[in-house]
Amino acid sequence: MERKTALVVGARGVIGGNLIDHLEQIGGWDVIGISRRGGADAGPVRHLAVDLLDREATAERLRGLSGVTHVFYAAYQDRPTWAELVAPNLAMLTNVVDAIEPVAPGLEHISLMQGYKVYGAHLGPFATPAKESDPGHMPPEFNVDQQSFLERRQRGAAWSWSALRPSVVAGIGLGNPMNLAMVIAVYASMSKELGIPLRFPGRPGAYTSLIEMTDAGLLARATVWAATTSSSRNEAYNITNGDLFRWSSMWPRLAEFFDLDVAPPLQMSLQDVMADKQPLWEAMIERHGLVATPYRDVSSWAFGDFVFGWDYDVIADASKARRAGFHEYVDTEEMFLRIFQDLRDRRLIP
């Protein structure tokens, strides 16, 4: 089989990092990872440090990548408001496509990573289970603008696009702003260190609403499937583990892993109550011989507050992907416990 070349944009995030791992495992791929910080080259993977908001620098850095066949776009720039997210995130995607399309004659596919913001999940209760065919909502929404850009750009082109819409993604990835597994693991580890029970910190309604997750490994496999299957050209797919749960039943099972009791939920802002915990974290590193990870890279408490604030069902219909041929499934409880054990084995948590 002819080797392909993947350009993974957002290579240092939990989504991009797990995608690179998957491409290495299956073989047949040369991989170029792009991020602001870059990384160490290894085997078929090399890294480039690129500021994607700098249009000229992006064009210059990507000019020599003539062999790219697939672009996997998973980059994200955070901003204080939903409206402010549009300009930088659309600009980064545009800059990548403008730089790669003219120099890579063998370009076959551009994969776009989205999420349930397409359905308005971040705004409040939305129609569930959400379907890819659901009508749009009032802008601003950068995910929608990015897909519209790809649809317009693809007309008449030889390459195709796909859009993957995972739920909350869980995996190993330090410094990633959207990694709920790390939020829970560090929150539970600190609760253990302080000798207090594990309390669900979100809204009361969030404790009993239905939610689903997407394992980062499962998402990587689905992303490559959509990018390399001819029948998946120019389509969007919801990608989930395949099961639903409520925190009210999941929370005690997660607490068992850390040998913690569970007390009744107590709504609190993790961003506020964890703001003074850097000394505690540094003491835990010393006491337990952990990898010396800076506290700022350990977790995004604001993201935890965001997810634990959903006091309504956050679920989507993933049957379109199954009908198209992607049938993989991950048990969410087993996923959490596997990630926690992996974090422990790597000495990232006690």
Taking only the tens place, the pLDDT of each residue in 115-129 is: 999 999 999 999 999
> pLDDT-derived band of residue 274, with 50, 70 and 90 as boundaries?
very high
pLDDT tens-digit map of 135-173: 999 999 999 999 999 999 999 999 999 999 999 999 987
Q: Do the strands 210-211 and 245-246 form a parallel or antiparallel pair, or are they unpaired?
A: antiparallel
Assess whether the previous peptide bond of 139 is cis (omega < 30° from 0): no
Separation between Cα atoms, residue 152 and residue 50, nearest integer Å: 25
What pLDDT, on the 0 to 100 scale, is given for residue 172? 84
Beta bridge partners of 166: 239
Separation between Cα atoms, residue 34 and residue 51, nearest integer Å: 9
- Cα angle 300, 304, 307; round to 5: 135
**Residues 276, 245: contact at Cβ < 8 Å?**
no
Q: Which helix (H) or strand (E) holds 156?
A: none
| Single pTM value for the model | 0.97
Task: For residue 205, count CB atoms less than 10 angstroms from its CB and return exposed for 0-12, middle for 13-18, buried for 19 or more.
Answer: exposed
pLDDT tens-digit map of 172-215: 876 665 789 999 999 999 999 999 999 999 999 999 999 999 99
Helix and strand element counts for the chain (H, E) = 14, 11
What pLDDT, on the 0 to 100 scale, is given for residue 84? 98
Q: Do domains 4-168+215-239 and 174-212+244-345 have the same CATH topology?
A: yes
DSSP structure class, residue 42: B
What pLDDT, on the 0 to 100 scale, is given for residue 173? 77
Average pLDDT of the segment spanning 229-250: 97
Closest CA to 187 of 288, 300, 344: 300
Going 321 to 206 to 16 to 86, the CA torsion angle's sign is positive
Window from 93-107, 215-229, 271-285, 290-304 with minimum mean pLDDT: 290-304
What pLDDT, on the 0 to 100 scale, is given for residue 1? 65
User: Which CATH superfamily groups domain 174-212+244-345?
Assistant: NAD(P)-binding Rossmann-like Domain (3.40.50.720)
pLDDT tens-digit map of 8-66: 999 999 999 999 999 999 999 999 999 998 989 899 999 999 999 999 999 999 999 99
Q: How far is CA 4 from CA 30, 37, 221, 232, 284, in A?
A: 6, 25, 16, 18, 44
| Sequence spans of domains, the chain | 4-168+215-239, 174-212+244-345
User: Which CATH superfamily groups domain 4-168+215-239?
Assistant: NAD(P)-binding Rossmann-like Domain (3.40.50.720)
